Chains A and B, each alone.
Chain A
Amino acid sequence: MGAVYLPSQYGLLLVPLASVQVKPGDKLRITCRYSHIGKGESQTLYAAIGNSGWAGFDEVLHGSKTISVPEDANWNYHEDYVDISITTVISAGVYDLYAKIGGAIPEVISPTLHDVVEVLAETPESEFGEISITDYAKV
């Protein structure tokens, strides 16, 4: 399970993050808060599920959408969300999560949340194994 350090009166406090369970066919909605100043513009909000490692973030699934950011005369915070469709491309396991604004050269990248998405194995198709008579009586 992932965790983040938050400042408190006792110093840094380790706060565990709850993981979310998903399976193929689900959507994972990631809500982000970002700060902005300056002219309004349209940008891409992007989020990905994958594995964070020494070589960077190995993305397995991602989602993106265009957001319209209003003009901000001062630094302002805004919130928006992006959905990631969970498909069979991803195998069962525990994954990391991150989000960014922008394209190939991002404007800003979020901290990675570790081990917060648990992908469950797909429920098998309906199948019958055997049948036997357990009783017989006059009705």
Chain B
Amino acid sequence: MAQYADIVEIVAPAEASQGSRVDITVRMKNTYSSAIGIMVGGALEYGVSPWPGTSFPEPSANVNAGVTHSFSGYFIMPDKKVTIHAYSYYYGADGSWHYDDEMTRAVNLAQEVESQFGSIEIVSYARR
């Protein structure tokens, strides 16, 4: 259970093709009684160590009490199923970021269909 920066949802596609850009959104709610700074972080679990990170162009925001903020990010789909780990942090009175919450979401690797032809027909023929 989060203390102040509650991750409400990770929005991501169910599957993606290898090498494609996967856009994600992490929705985070300020559960504190007044405005605080909250920050998002992300990592990708798919069998490599250390876990690669995700990109969030604007990873932090000042959020009013009770408001849910959406952080947009992305990553490049690897060659296997990946689990997104999203983390939340809040900015404390001591001037430091404090880890608060975590949520995961899986993105499956889309199976690419091999090239296949179904039919061919001659639609016209003419002297040139």
Residues of A1-51 at the interface with B, using a CB-CB cut-off of 8 Å, are 20-22, 26-41, 43, 47
**In the complex the two chains form, what is the Cα distance from A47 to B122 in whole Å?**
9
**A100 pairs with B120, CB closer than 8 A:** yes
Indicate whether A109 reaches chain B with its CB closer than 8 angstroms.
yes
* Cβ contact within 8 Å between B128 and A31: no
Q: A38-B115, A39-B112, A39-B115 are in contact. Are A28 and B127 (CB under 8 A)?
A: yes
Decide: A31 and B124 in contact? CB cutoff 8 A. Answer: yes
For the side of the interface on B, what is the size category? Answer: 10 to 19
Using a CB–CB distance below 8 Å, which chain A residues touch chain B? Answer: 20-22, 26-41, 43, 47, 69, 73, 75, 79, 83, 97-102, 107-111, 113, 116-117
19 A–B contacts, CB within 8 A, in A order? A26-B128, A27-B127, A28-B128, A29-B127, A32-B121, A34-B117, A34-B119, A36-B116, A38-B112, A38-B113, A38-B115, A38-B116, A41-B115, A83-B128, A98-B122, A100-B120, A108-B119, A110-B122, A111-B121
